Chain A
Amino acid sequence: MLSGVGIICFTASYGVALVLELTRLLFRSGIRGALLLGFTGAGLLAHSLFLYYRAASAIGSPLSSEQDWYLWAAWALAGTYLYLTYYHPRTAFGLFVLPLVLALIGVAVFLADPQPFARKPASQVWAAIHALSILLAVVAVLVGFVAGVMYFQQARRLKRKLPPPRRLRLPSLEWLDRANSRAIVVSTLMMGVGVLSGVLLKLINHAGQTDSVPWNDPVVLSTMILFGWLVLAVAIGLIFKSARAGRKVAFLTLASFVFLVVVLGVGLLMDTQHGGKNRSPTPACHSPCTVEGGTS
């Protein structure tokens, strides 16, 4: 029914939106805003239908595989971009957000494992909470990263006393600062819920066993380090008033992104028991055609 709606459809839509964003650097246009909303909206619709189709027909619940998880993360980030573009049509958010959306889709298609996570019926709710909260934490870190990069670019221009480039509009430092601070808080809260639900999930699945939580698993370990870093970042802001705004918050969000890349890299490339899988260090080649429901 929806087999024609594939990864290539929404990837192409986001790709066109990115090209349209790039044209901001070249010329002004009265219709670019409408085209951007149109292509991103169409891409998001196709993306939603694709994910719905996968959840409904093949696997039974969303976020049930590593591949799904990356596609949902891309969907959430694309949705954030659409929202921002609708309310701030003259700001070039797409130049920063869309490459991340396309990168997440790329990882989903070429690197992520399409095999479903091992689940027991009793722990499905906790598994969903775990996956969803980690996903939201990751999206918040990515949004914070984008806001951090924009902050440094804007601050650099202002320090150099240059007029704002008309073709690459950025939000004010105050707006970016607020986005950074919120991103750190949201990502920490969501990561906390994710870690807690992950522990509970393990305890439920391995009831009665003494070593139920594999703390030394690379994914678990790196996730805990990321969580620890996020808690530290929030604590720094709470303790030191001067770290609540400006460059320091932007630095914290950039560092969070680096930690996130490490965690995702570990999850993709290293041998891990996380999610009930056991994989050799060499990533399996998942061609796009293995994605169920896709036409790519």
Chain B
Amino acid sequence: MKVRVVGCSHHNVPIDVRERLAFSPRQSQAALEELRRKSPKLEAVLISTCNRVELYMATENATALSRAEVAEFFARFHGLKPDEVFEQLYERTGAEAVRHLFAVAASLDSMVVGEPQILAQVKQAYQLATEQECVGPLTHAAFQAAVKVARRVATETSIHERRVSIPSVAVADFAQQIFERFDDKRTLLIGAGEMADETLRYLRDEGARDVTVVNRNAGRAEELAAKWRGRAVPWDRLGDVLTSADLVISTTGAERPVVSLDLFREIEPARYRWPLFVLDLAVPRDFDPAIGQRPGVYLYSIDDLRTACQQNRHQRDKELPAAIRIVQQEADRFMAELHHRATGPVIRQLKQGWQKPKEEELHRLLNKLPELDDRGRDEIRQSFDRLINKLLHPPLESLRRESRHGIPHALLDALAKLFQLKD
């Protein structure tokens, strides 16, 4: 009974290597099909994301693929040299592999610890393996347990709530605390900085639809508006669109503020103090900081967001040991159950071995006592059952206890010899 993972991740290889080893969903499907043909008894799940490519294998009796065999398999699939691939792969077996899977599912091994997408990716990978009939009792148990662990980490720690990237903090920690919904809000994009792009993507995910782009370069504004299915507005109408905006993302390369306090004061009466969320991601700043003091205006500069990110990172680091502890606990429990399953045949034989003499003795006794009614017979039968259970309890309990540290081969051998159990 073996569990093994072979793969690579952002920890040990750069993105260009991960890109070459990555599997698209269609490639994953083909790879799993090939694995099933090659090793029908092998249970396998292939996780391929932008941060990792990992093949999880489990087997009751057959042999799991070694690191070299997986390297050869990956290399053949992607048209690479096996030696080159072998160097990039790590291998973990047994409890270490299970712990790794749990940490991956709980997003403790992610590039951005706590990011929520990985659990869905793990589930999708398992789903695909199920469709390809590559899973079995071991992978089923391991992946079910991994999902449970991820949920436990999410419930018992706030690690998933601690965003550490500037766009995610801007949207989750501030914009969503101001607005309940975004589909009825007007978003204004001033400039065309890279971070604005990412922030806008987060806002779109939250439902923001109405996007207006203002840029000194009309062509660039049209281009961005087409990308975000919004509308481009000439630069000289900045005041007008600012009047009706709910959210503003500003990332121009201007050397002095594009929205001064005077300009804002001009449009302020027409805004009727409706909340205005401003993300000033430009350096130097696009909005006069004094605008942030105006009623209803929530203005955040890149430094404000960076500070919030640092606080979140600090808090997340404080919670990380608790999350690791949960993963460790659950991995130990899973392995103990797995080892205990290995003792199943011996336990079954032990129970069956005691059943025969019990039935014989019971039969003999009941024949000698024909005057007994049904109730008396049942009482005696139950008494015999209790006796067998009590006699079996100590060895079974010993097996369970020893299973916590691995498959108790010595104890199993001893039991087999003592009770003359045969395979």
In the bound complex, residues from chain A placing their C-beta under 8 Å from that of B298 are 158-159
Chain B nearest CB from A115 CB (Å) reads 46
Residue pair B308, A163 in contact (C-beta under 8 Å): yes
A158 to B304 alpha-carbon distance, docked (Å): 11
Within 8 A of B (CB), among A161-203: 161-164, 166, 170-175, 178
A173 touches B308 (CB 8 A): no
Which B residue sits closest to A172, measured CB to CB? Answer: B180
Complex Cα–Cα for A47 and B296 (A): 41
**CB of B173 within 8 A of chain A?**
yes
Task: Look across to chain A and name the residue whose beta carbon is closest to the beta carbon of B163.
Answer: A163
Q: Name the interface residues of B167-183: CB closer than 8 Å to any CB of A.
A: 169, 173-174, 176-181
Q: Which residues of A contact B178 (CB under 8 A)?
A: 158, 172-174
> Which stretch, A4-12, A242-250, A260-268, touches the partner chain B?
A242-250
Cα A244 to Cα B271 with chains together (Å): 12
A164 to B178, CA, bound (A): 11
Residues of the A chain whose Cβ atoms lie less than 8 Å from the Cβ of B295: 246-247
B177 near A164 (CB under 8 angstroms)?
Answer: yes
What residue of chain A has the Cβ atom nearest to residue B172's Cβ? A164
Query: Is the CB–CB distance between B304 and A161 below 8 Å?
Result: yes
* Contacting residues of chain A (212-252) with chain B, CB-CB under 8 angstroms: 241-242, 244-248
| Contact call B180/A175, Cβ cutoff below 8 A | yes
Interface residues on chain B, size class: 20 to 34
> Is the beta-carbon distance between A242 and B179 smaller than 8 angstroms?
no
**Any B CB within 8 A of the CB of A154:** yes
Known: A161-B300, A161-B304. A242 touches B158 (CB 8 A): no
Say yes or no: is B386 at the interface (Cβ < 8 Å to chain A). no
Contact of A173 among B169, B177, B304 (CB under 8 A): B177
Task: Name the A residues within 8 Å of B179 (CB-CB).
Answer: 172-174
Contact present for A172 and B177 (CB under 8 Å): yes
B181, B273, B307, B315: the one contacting A246 at CB < 8 Å is B273
Q: Are B304 and A174 in contact (CB under 8 A)?
A: no
Please name all residues of chain B whose beta carbon is closer than 8 Å to the beta carbon of A166 when the two chains form the complex: 158, 161, 315
> Given A30-B156, A159-B298, A174-B180, are A242 and B174 also a contact pair (CB < 8 Å)?
no
**What chain B residues lie within 8 Å of A163 (beta carbons)?**
169, 173, 308, 311-312
- Of the candidates B155, B275, B296, the one whose C-beta lies within 8 Å of that of A30 is B155
The 8 Å CB contact of A241, one of B173, B272, B296, is B272
Contact B174 A158 (CB under 8 A): yes
Contact B307 A161 (CB under 8 A): yes
In the assembled complex, the CB of B366 is this many whole angstroms from the nearest CB of chain A, namely: 51
Q: Which of B136-170 contact A (CB under 8 A)?
A: 152, 155-158, 161, 169
Cβ A172 vs Cβ B176 within 8 A: yes
Q: What is the minimal beta-carbon distance from A175 to any residue of chain B, in angstroms?
A: 5
Residues from chain B with a CB closer than 8 A to the CB of A171 are: 180
Q: Cβ of B274 < 8 Å from any Cβ of A?
A: yes
In the assembled complex, the Cα of A31 lies from the Cα of B272 at a distance in Å of 44
Among B158, B173, B296, point to the contact of A28 (Cβ < 8 A): B158
Cα–Cα, bound, A241→B169 (Å): 32
Selected contact of B274 from candidates A159, A161, A246, CB within 8 Å: A246
Chain B residues, Cβ within 8 Å of A162: 308, 311
CB distance from A171 to the nearest CB of B (A): 8
- How far, in Å, is A166 (CB) from chain B's closest CB? 4
Interface pair B273/A248, CB less than 8 Å apart: yes
Q: Chain A: residues with CB nearer than 8 A to chain B?
A: 28, 30, 154, 157-159, 161-164, 166, 170-175, 178, 241-242, 244-248
Instruction: Offer 25 A-B interface pairs, CB within 8 angstroms, sorted by A.
Output: A28-B157, A28-B158, A30-B152, A30-B155, A154-B177, A158-B177, A158-B298, A162-B311, A163-B311, A164-B177, A170-B177, A172-B177, A172-B179, A172-B180, A173-B275, A174-B178, A174-B179, A242-B273, A245-B274, A245-B275, A246-B274, A246-B295, A247-B273, A247-B296, A248-B273
A173-B179, A173-B275 are known; give 15 further A-B pairs, CB within 8 A. A158-B177, A158-B178, A159-B292, A159-B298, A161-B174, A161-B300, A161-B307, A161-B308, A162-B311, A166-B161, A172-B179, A178-B180, A242-B273, A245-B273, A247-B273
Shortest Cβ-Cβ A-B pairs, 6 listed: A174-B180, A30-B155, A242-B272, A241-B272, A161-B304, A166-B158
